[in-house]
Structure 1
Amino acid sequence: MSNEILERIETLIGDFDDPVLGRVLQGARVTVDTESPLSLRLTLGWPAAGIRESLAESVAEWLAARLDETPAVSIDWEIASHAVQGSLKPMAGVKNIIAVASGKGGVGKSTTAANLALALAAEGASAAVLDADIYGPSQPRMLGAEGRPTTRDGKTMQPLQAHGIGVMSVGFLMDPEQPMVWRGPMVTQALNQLISDTDWGDLDYLIVDMPPGTGDIQLTLAQRVPVSGAVIVTTPQEISLLDARKGLKMFQKVDVRVLGIVENMGTHVCSQCGHEDHIFGEGGGQRLAQQFDTPLLASLPLDPKIREEVDGGRPSVISDPDGAIAHRYRDMARRMARELAIQGGEAEAAFPNISVVDD
């Protein structure tokens, strides 16, 4: 295969612009088989099981329209450990820790965290959830996980398993009816133990469900825990956006990259007539994303099914995997993971890395 053709492929792959995801192949590793017929293997830096086949077909059609032959295209992914804040080092076995945060409570942050972890797993990554809301742990109920953590070595705890992902929460260690009447130092110590004393195994993503606000837990996480990125959850309501801005600026101040905004309760669709209404305001999440030059990862509706499913311990990604809501969460997960791959330095170049295989 001539160098001219290889250069042509490199340019075309770099210019491929998906109508939904944009420059989806930015930073991908491209392996070209020199044997005829032409075949390409694209290795992404983020999981993409839900769009593997459609993306491969789109790329093949794109190339076929610009080359003299139709290539066979396959899609795979390798998830790297990305840079963290300050002088901290990534945690052993855990490639990326993602904080899911909000400026205020009641915006659907924990629901987003649970579905995000499950969506990442559905997309082909290994994921787990850490419930860092010490005062109000909700992940045990949302993920339908019951019991107490066990230990194999007498030193570390094994996370409980729920729907194929690990989950750890102080809710597993305390009476669920007992309030946490703890001062700040006790809370931060509990968080440190939940993180460091849990045997997470090998994870691509550890999703941390943060408590609302910008207090002790957030400061502890920023100073002591190697965080690869943060996702901010809000509603379109102005009072929610005001607090979301504070949370976003907090992560910026401690050098944790913000991967995007998730807007919950963007619209309400009447179950009787189908009328769609912006009861909490319109476009708030998009405006916040534009203000801080960060992506809007998803805009999710106010749908009773989402609440019912997490209340029943089977979030939308699990209870209705082929439904519209689950597809939105999976798209959100892909966008978040892709943004991390780009911001994390794995995709700084505008063009992919091309290698040639001579079988």
Structure 2
Amino acid sequence: MVDTNVPEHCPGVESEQAGKSNACAGCPNQAACATAPKGPDPDIAVITDRLRNVRRKILVLSGKGGVGKSTFTANLGFALAHTGSETEPQEAVMTAAEEETVRQVGVVDIDICGPSLPKIMGLENEQIHQSMSGWSPVYVQDNLAVMSIGFMLPDKDAAVIWRGPKKNGIIKQFLRDVEWSDLDYLLVDTPPGTSDEHLSIAQYLKPGGIDGAILVTTPPEVALQDVRKEISFCRKVNIPILGIVENMSGFVCPNCKHESSIFPATTGGARQMAETMKVPFLGSIPLDPRIGKSCDSGQCFMEEFPDSPATLAFQGIVDQIVEQLP
């Protein structure tokens, strides 16, 4: 039986024990770490300088795949970038003061093997461009930019078959070589789990500060048990937890508004888990079949269906995040 109270820690690639300690046994990167140059990674200082004008950095995590984490990240990006104006963009005339209050938002997709943000955010056929100052992210709108390996694949069905070091390298490039400019929020969409990508993003961003993590789950215990591991991960690497979001918490009929439980919360759901684990609970987002349709068409669900119970729930969660990180 594994003793979860005495975790095995990776010594870090810069350590003299890298690839040699007991914690390294069985790691696929053991040989690479043992032979790699030791000492602090000089690129971390470059990344910290590159992101010096990013005010807030937020990780979006999930213990298990299929809980809607990328959908949540995309809609969070849309919501934070939204100006709040009800005027159509072509008719809008903003004052200088209003322009200063428009949030600048960037989204980094580090789900290297399953990059879905280009599709969800309506950028599926876009490509990355390079300038003298580095890679330019792809813009959904003037104040919302995205970087994903999905923009670099030869076709949308191409598989990324990479080991850890190569995945970590592209994550480093997304942070070191992209010209993000001034941002109010940088959202990082991560793959499920607590592995290479998560350790890398924590290592690269922590010197410049990570403002917090948002954990996305669904109500069943099979999803919650993996979120508990994610909470443990955040605490071990000292990443603040902004809160837990329960996605797909029930189905609300678009016509009669009646709510049905599709995925029963057999152990109390995310709210009960958050209370037990002593982390904030940000709210529940009900199922709406139009969310999937919006993702497939690359549209912002919240703008397309502003009166949906899911939109109202989502907006309440966004308000809490903005309140926590003013």
Shared topology, TM-score over 0.5? yes
Question: Does the 8 Å contact 1:170/1:194 carry over to 2?
Answer: no
The aligned residue for residue 231 of structure 1 is: 214
What amino acid maps onto 1:183 in structure 2?
R
The aligned residue for residue 130 of structure 1 is: 108
The change in CA–CA distance for 1:223 and 1:156 in structure 2 (over 3 A counts) is: same
Q: Name the % identity.
A: 39
Question: Aligned partners of 2:306, 2:189: CA distance in 1, in Å?
Answer: 22
Question: Aligned partners of 1:321, 1:275: CA distance in 2, in Å?
Answer: 18
What amino acid maps onto 1:181 in structure 2?
I
For residues 46-85 of structure 1, the aligned pairs below 5 Å read none
For residues 78-227 of structure 1, the aligned pairs below 5 Å read 91-122=51-82, 124-145=102-123, 146-153=125-132, 155-163=133-141, 164-175=143-154, 176-226=156-206, 227=210
The aligned residue for residue 81 of structure 1 is: none
The change in CA–CA distance for 1:244 and 1:172 in structure 2 (over 3 A counts) is: same
Q: How far off its partner does 1:131 sit?
A: 0.6
Give the TM-score of the pair, scaled to structure 1. 0.67
The answer to whether 1:249 aligns with 2:222 is no
Residue aligned with 2:199, SS? helix
The change in CA–CA distance for 1:273 and 1:205 in structure 2 (over 3 A counts) is: closer
Q: Choose which of 301, 305, 310 in structure 2 pairs with 1:325.
A: 310
For residues 16-27 of structure 1, the aligned pairs below 5 Å read none
Question: Does the 8 Å contact 1:120/1:330 carry over to 2?
Answer: no
Question: Aligned partners of 2:205, 2:192: CA distance in 1, in Å?
Answer: 18
Greater mean alpha carbon deviation, residues 160-169 or residues 105-114: 160-169
C-alpha distance after superposition, 1:279-321 (max 9, x if no partner): 2123411012112222221200111011111111012123234
Unpaired runs of at least 5, structure 2: 1-46, 85-101
What amino acid maps onto 1:167 in structure 2?
V
Question: Aligned partners of 1:294, 1:125: CA distance in 2, in Å?
Answer: 27
The aligned residue for residue 17 of structure 2 is: none
Aligned length: 253
C-alpha distance after superposition, 1:28-63 (max 9, x if no partner): xxxxxxxxxxxxxxxxxxxxxxxxxxxxxxxxxxxx
What amino acid maps onto 2:114 in structure 1?
G
Residue aligned with 1:98, SS? strand
The aligned residue for residue 285 of structure 1 is: 270
Question: Aligned partners of 2:172, 2:303: CA distance in 1, in Å?
Answer: 30
The aligned residue for residue 6 of structure 1 is: none
Question: Does the 8 Å contact 1:102/1:212 carry over to 2?
Answer: yes
The change in CA–CA distance for 1:263 and 1:133 in structure 2 (over 3 A counts) is: same
For residues 340-355 of structure 1, the aligned pairs below 5 Å read 340-341=325-326
Give the TM-score of the pair, scaled to structure 2. 0.73
The change in CA–CA distance for 1:211 and 1:273 in structure 2 (over 3 A counts) is: same
The aligned residue for residue 356 of structure 1 is: none
What amino acid maps onto 1:142 in structure 2?
I
Residue aligned with 1:266, SS? strand
What amino acid maps onto 2:134 in structure 1?
T
What amino acid maps onto 1:178 in structure 2?
A
Question: Aligned partners of 1:318, 1:138: CA distance in 2, in Å?
Answer: 20
Question: Does the 8 Å contact 1:127/1:204 carry over to 2?
Answer: yes
